[in-house]
Amino acid sequence: MIKEDKQPSLYEQIKTYILSEIAQQHWKPHDRIPSEHELTRQFSVSRITVKKAMSDLVENGVIYRLQGKGSYVSPVDKSMIADALPAPSPAKRPIALLLPFINNQFNALLLNGVESVLSEAGYPLLFCNTGNSQEKEERVIRNMVDRDVAGMIIYPVEGESYNREILHLTLDSFPLVVMDRYLRGIDTNFVCSDNVKGAQEAVDYLISLGHRNIGFVSTTVTGTSSIEDRLLGYEKSLAEHQIPIDHRYRLVHLDIEVPKTEEIRSFLTRNPGLTAIFAINPGFGLEILKVAEEMNIRVPQDLSLIFFDDFELSEFHYVRPTCVSQEELKLGQEAARLLLSIMMDPKQEKRKLFLPPALIVRDSTAPPPPQKQSR
């Protein structure tokens, strides 16, 4: 079991501070050091604590006192100062964070959230970019195990429904947290947004505005839990409002890494009755905005648009987008806290944390035009 380092007492911190200043020759032999009153104020401690630390250093011959004048550095051998300094705490083994890419605000905030918690706990972080490749992801996992990392946080690549290396880590009770997505059939600890709820709230809002012909735009659905859950939320909303699910209104095979302009143009051309679209990410959402403008389809007057995730400077976009915002920073922080908890108590029950996203209503949504309000 990994134990957290104990924080040195204030008395020890004051002694270490004085010894370090002398060892680094910031204070040289016969230099006057700060008074007890000054040290009391600097460390926000009682006078008794400072007096005890100073008395120990006088007794050890590190400093000497002159009545009525103050305390001074003794002309002692440097080795004596080095011996008096506390031994440094052993370095903690690093923790690895695997991300499929880091080219957007979402992943940058995830990284920031993870790093802030691990840094406070004294753990160095190894960031690994898997390039959204399952083969590279498996190779990186093996490499991190060989490097004897203390634990891993893994954001699985898109389309991944199974990973043998993650399964091996789970079976070996290795400290592991899966983030943002989870792998169905592998019982891991994970932290992710409630994608079903977020998508359902987005479509509920469109329906509340009067929309009935609502499209769904995504990459291939099967194999990526977050996309599967967003489709489920979309369908649940339609079903609960007794709106038939029309598969013509789905565009679900887009490649996240290649241009998609013509496919979106064709989709909008085939479905002139669409009044709203729910897209699974900002990349697709912004592409829909661009294509709609080229086709003289006005957003939101002719077509409302909501997508999952906010993006940097969205408030300054020419059409401020309505979106489902995930708390990326908190998601990263919770994943790191969960991993530290597992490292402290490896036998605890597997935990599955779903964080609620929030619908942010801006300018890309409005009631449907009168001529399109019925099927």
pLDDT tens figures, 48-96 = 888 888 888 888 888 888 888 889 988 877 666 666 666 666 678 999 9
pLDDT of residue 351: 93
Tell me which of 68-72, 221-225, 249-253, 313-317 is least confident: 221-225
Q: How far apart are CA 27 and CA 153, in angstroms?
A: 45
pLDDT > 90? residue 277: yes
Higher pLDDT, 163 or 81: 163
Selection from 167, 172, 128, 166 nearest residue 147 by Cα = 128
Do the beta carbons of residue 99 and residue 111 sit within 8 Å? yes
Average pLDDT over residues 272-279: 97
* pLDDT 10s digits, 309-324: 998 889 999 999 999 9
CA dihedral defined by 215, 193, 185, 93, rounded to 10 degrees?
Answer: 140
Fold of 195-326+359-372: Rossmann fold (3.40.50)
Quick one: how far is CA 256 from the chain centroid?
21
The answer to whether the 10-84 and 195-326+359-372 domains have the same CATH topology is no
What DSSP state is assigned to residue 245?
Answer: P
Classify domain 10-84 at the CATH topology level: Arc Repressor Mutant, subunit A (1.10.10)
Tokens coding 92: 């903690």
Q: What is the CA radius of gyration of the chain?
A: 29
SS3 194: coil
Q: pTM score > 0.75 for this model?
A: no
3-state secondary structure of 175: coil
Find out whether 58 and 29 touch, Cβ atoms under 8 Å.
no
What distance in Å separates the CA atoms of residue 68 and residue 242, rounded to the nearest whole number?
89
DSSP string, 19-55: HHHHHTTSS-TTPBPPPHHHHHHHHT--HHHHHHHHH
Contacts of 5 (CB under 8 A, 6+ apart): 89, 122
> 247: helix, coil or strand?
helix
| The CATH number of the domain covering residues in 95-193+328-356 | 3.40.50.2300
pLDDT recorded at residue 228: 93
Domain boundary assignment for the chain: 10-84, 95-193+328-356, 195-326+359-372
